[in-house]
Structure 1
Amino acid sequence: MSLKVKICGVTTPPALHAAIDAGADMVGFVFFPKSPRNVSLRGACDLSAGMGGKAQKVALVVDADDGLIRDIVQEFKPDWVQMHGAEPAERVAEIRQKFGVPILKAIGVAQPSDLSEVEAYLGVADRILLDAKPAKGAELPGGNGLAFDWTLTEGFSKRTGCENWLLSGGLNPENVGEAIRLTHAPGVDVSSGVEDSPGQKSVEKIRAFIAAARRAQDHLA
């Protein structure tokens, strides 16, 4: 299985083009007003119009209601809906069935026991994203530039039977190679780690991140 690379929180054409040209597999668009990476539905549609299927579109939502998800699915037509809030497995299953779109479910990780939450989503979500659990009281559930102890994921696929997952949280061009070598994650996701400031993606950092991830993938092959 080839490594999946996801660039999340894209808001500008240069960032989008950099991600696609550098070979990103997935590009995330954030539909969460509290985030500095938030985009309007019309803005996301316009921004993604030129993607031409070169990368999969991911719509990130946080504890969204049916109305928002319906609008996103009908107008934006994402390949994935990323549920990055406190959505229980029942809610994930409901959305997946109701709207017929694959679900990427984020799980916050800070200690070994957090990984036990994954079991409830197996067979419900189509892919799992392991992200650093935000600090208590944080406004954002992700994109905070925090990393968790990657050694917690040792043997994760074998232990859980989950082979489709992404590693996220605190990744950047300098450490993504080591993260891949250490965890053997089948995919990586980055947002703040390729920014110059919150919400401001760096074209150079996006290219460097994807290149570093691919080099690490080649070394593991």
Structure 2
Amino acid sequence: MSATPFKICGISTPETLDAAVASGAAHIGFNFFPPSPRAVTPDAAAALIGRMPAGIGRVAVLVAPDDALVTAVIAAGCTHLQLHGAGPERVAQLQSRHGLPVWLAAGVKTRADIADAQKAAGPADLLLLDAKAPNDAPLPGGNGLAFDWRLLASNRPQRRFGLAGGLTPDTVAEAIRLVQPALVDVASGVEESAGVKSVEKIMAFAHAVRSA
């Protein structure tokens, strides 16, 4: 069985981009939400994307984006749109308008949250299940939190889904074995500090995914 595809999210420097490419990441995420310590501008993302070989997904991480930002990140070279804070109507609108895969990220803490996430995703190409952010958290994701993956053991979404939230080189293999997602996604789990990626941790994460 082939290894689970993985995404390294929140890349912001040439060194860590090169490491993510070398690690075998299927997708690399660029965060366009200004409050995030991982945030980049469309111009900065374009410079990084220019270093990437073909065949790797370039995912724009967007929080309730307006149309101008969506247009800008596509012009920068992003090939996928990952939405936080959107519903099925916005997903369908962007799919129709731009002809690109659209993912919907949704927070999970309870079984009910999984059902709500499936409804919110609508026609999304991938439902990305993340840990639900605390009420006082400034970011909808990337908080280094995990939810109880056992919730998915008997309540799997009836659609293609990915797993995010608190994954690290030490936990991702267990998560893959337990959940069997279509994709695993890491941001804070391969960082030295908030927004600062570690080349060594990126490589360790990739090794752990392949060992699962």
TM-score by length of 2: 0.95
Q: Deviation per CA, 1:17-47, whole angstroms, max 9, x where unpaired?
A: 1111110000000001000000011100001
Which residue does 1:30 correspond to in 2?
A: 31
Amino acid at match of 1:129: L
| 1:118 CA displacement | 3.0
Which residue does 2:189 correspond to in 1?
A: 193
Change (3 A) 1:59 1:122: closer
75-84 vs 129-138, greater mean Cα deviation: 75-84
Indicate yes or no: 2:59 matched with 1:63.
no
Which residue does 2:80 correspond to in 1?
A: 80
Which residue does 1:131 correspond to in 2?
A: 130
**Contact 1:130 1:166 survives alignment (8 Å):** yes
Change (3 A) 1:56 1:156: farther
Which residue does 1:142 correspond to in 2?
A: 141
Distance (Å, rounded) in 2 between the aligned partners of 1:27 and 1:19:
7
| 1:123 CA displacement | 5.2
**Considering only aligned residues, what root-mean-square deviation do their CA atoms show, in Å?**
1.4
| 1:155 CA displacement | 4.4
Q: Which runs of 5+ in 2 are unaligned?
A: none
The alignment covers a number of residue pairs equal to 211
Determine which of 160, 174, 180 is the counterpart of 1:184: 180
Distance (Å, rounded) in 2 between the aligned partners of 1:147 and 1:136:
15
Q: Deviation per CA, 1:43-82, whole angstroms, max 9, x where unpaired?
A: 0000110212141100110000111101211x22322100
Q: Deviation per CA, 1:176-197, whole angstroms, max 9, x where unpaired?
A: 1111111112210000000000
Amino acid at match of 2:32: F
Distance (Å, rounded) in 1 between the aligned partners of 2:118 and 2:57:
26
Q: Which runs of 5+ in 1 are unaligned?
A: 217-221
Change (3 A) 1:53 1:156: farther
Which residue does 2:42 correspond to in 1?
A: 41
SS of residue in 1 equivalent to 2:54: coil
| 1:103 CA displacement | 0.4
**Contact 2:142 2:188 survives alignment (8 Å):** yes
Distance (Å, rounded) in 2 between the aligned partners of 1:81 and 1:66:
12
Among all aligned residue pairs of Structure 1 and Structure 2, give the percentage whose two residues are the same amino acid: 45
**Contact 1:4 1:187 survives alignment (8 Å):** yes
**Contact 1:20 1:54 survives alignment (8 Å):** no
Amino acid at match of 2:71: R
Distance (Å, rounded) in 1 between the aligned partners of 2:154 and 2:123:
21
Distance (Å, rounded) in 2 between the aligned partners of 1:52 and 1:213:
21
Q: Deviation per CA, 1:142-191, whole angstroms, max 9, x where unpaired?
A: 0000000000111444xx321x2211000000111111111112210000
**Contact 2:91 2:122 survives alignment (8 Å):** no
**Contact 1:29 1:44 survives alignment (8 Å):** yes
